């Protein structure tokens, strides 16, 4: 039996509230206040600037992926719609609100290519995930021993490798598999499936990435730069909190945490993000130099500050959304 949307959101809310209640049950609030009291605003501001630059690069990545689909969009427009998407992600209780808003606007501007428009958004997500997984696998050998010593973190390490291989296999299959050589009876059954035209358009649009490899590779390179900047912003936050941690550890922790938080089991990744952060800080014995015994408090403080970086991007997106000259004309339905 299919669950209604209200049941799904109820389950997500329950998981989020339950995990946060469990984490905060034994939290030393005095130590958490000390973590924030010693915050270096210079390093925090550096983290904000680095993150905003990285989010700006994500607009350039999406514009390149739109170019693969032969959809035009100015860099200013791509920048505006990207940050509006970040705004919807942060304030509409889910990670897909931004994708829907981006698709809505680009589909309004290219109504004859709505399927290709949504494919550009899907590919934007896919390229971001692949680059994130790639960076995680890059630093995994340096931290593999620590991860393998802990049963819970070992699962994350295996999941990281499996996700990368599955994603790589799916991309190779879609780009190279000779679907046109399938038996004739398969094609006859295929055309009977409702909506097969849309799927066919998506497939042909996806294959355009193989035919226009230069733009696709450039988008992937920009995505790697984007992910590294977001991780560098996280490193700046660690310095702001006087947390003793190396850049490879920050990279691996944030890769695993972002993947865990993107799972559709909680509201906006809240709770899951903090739980994964606490687990990984414990595995690597990471603490603040000011509070060498406050592993959980350091992890929670770092997690909250890392989320605040997204809020700065979303506030900029909200400002752009409210002040755009055409916002009344293109304002999406709030239920989208």
Residue-wise pLDDT tens digits, 231-272: 999 999 999 999 988 888 899 899 888 888 877 777 777 888
pLDDT tens across 75-93, in order? 999 999 999 988 887 766 5
Percentage of the chain lying above the pLDDT 90 cut: 21
Could you give the CA distance from residue 185 to residue 168 in angstroms, rounded to a whole number?
Answer: 29
- The C-alpha angle with vertex 238 and arms to 273 and 134, in degrees rounded to 5, equals 60
Report whether pLDDT(278) > 80.
yes
Q: Averaging pLDDT over each range in 146-160, 163-177, 184-198, 279-293, which range is the top one?
A: 279-293
Using 50, 70 and 90 to split pLDDT, how confident is the model at 94? Answer: low
Rounded-to-10 torsion of CA 262, 265, 269, 271: -140
Q: Domain residue spans in the chain?
A: 35-174+209-330
């Amino acid at each position: 039996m299919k669950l209604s949307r209200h049941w799904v959101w109820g389950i997500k809310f329950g998981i989020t509230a339950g995990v946060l209640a469990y984490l905060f049950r034994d939290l030393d609030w005095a130590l958490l206040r000390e973590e924030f009291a010693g915050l270096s605003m210079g390093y925090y501001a550096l983290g904000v600037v680095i993150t905003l630059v990285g989010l700006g690069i994500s607009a350039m990545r999406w514009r390149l992926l739109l170019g693969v689909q032969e959809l035009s969009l100015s860099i200013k427009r791509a920048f505006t719609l990207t940050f509006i998407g970040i705004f919807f992600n942060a304030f509409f209780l889910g990670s897909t609100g931004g994708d829907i808003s981006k698709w809505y606007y680009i589909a309004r501007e290219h109504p004859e290519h709505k399927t290709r428009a949504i494919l550009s958004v899907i590919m934007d997500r896919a390229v971001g995930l692949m680059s994130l997984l790639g960076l995680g696998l890059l630093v995994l050998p340096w931290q593999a021993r620590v991860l393998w010593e802990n049963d819970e973190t070992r699962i994350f390490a295996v999941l990281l490798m499996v996700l990368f291989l599955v994603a790589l296999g799916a991309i190779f299959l879609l780009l190279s598999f000779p679907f046109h050589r399938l038996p004739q009876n398969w094609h006859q059954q295929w055309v009977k499936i409702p909506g097969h035209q849309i799927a066919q358009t998506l497939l042909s649009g996806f294959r355009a990435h193989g035919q226009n490899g230069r733009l696709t590779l450039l988008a992937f390179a920009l995505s790697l730069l984007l992910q590294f900047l977001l991780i560098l912003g996280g490193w700046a936050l660690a310095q702001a909190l006087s947390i003793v941690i190396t850049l490879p550890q920050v990279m691996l922790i944030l890769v695993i945490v972002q993947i865990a938080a993107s799972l559709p089991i909680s509201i906006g990744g809240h709770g899951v993000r903090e739980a994964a952060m606490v687990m990984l800080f414990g595995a690597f014995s990471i603490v603040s130099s000011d509070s060498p015994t406050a592993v959980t408090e350091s992890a929670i403080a770092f997690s909250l500050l890392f989320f605040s970086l997204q809020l700065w991007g979303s506030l900029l997106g909200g400002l752009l959304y409210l002040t755009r000259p055409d916002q009344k004309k293109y304002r999406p339905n709030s239920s989208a």
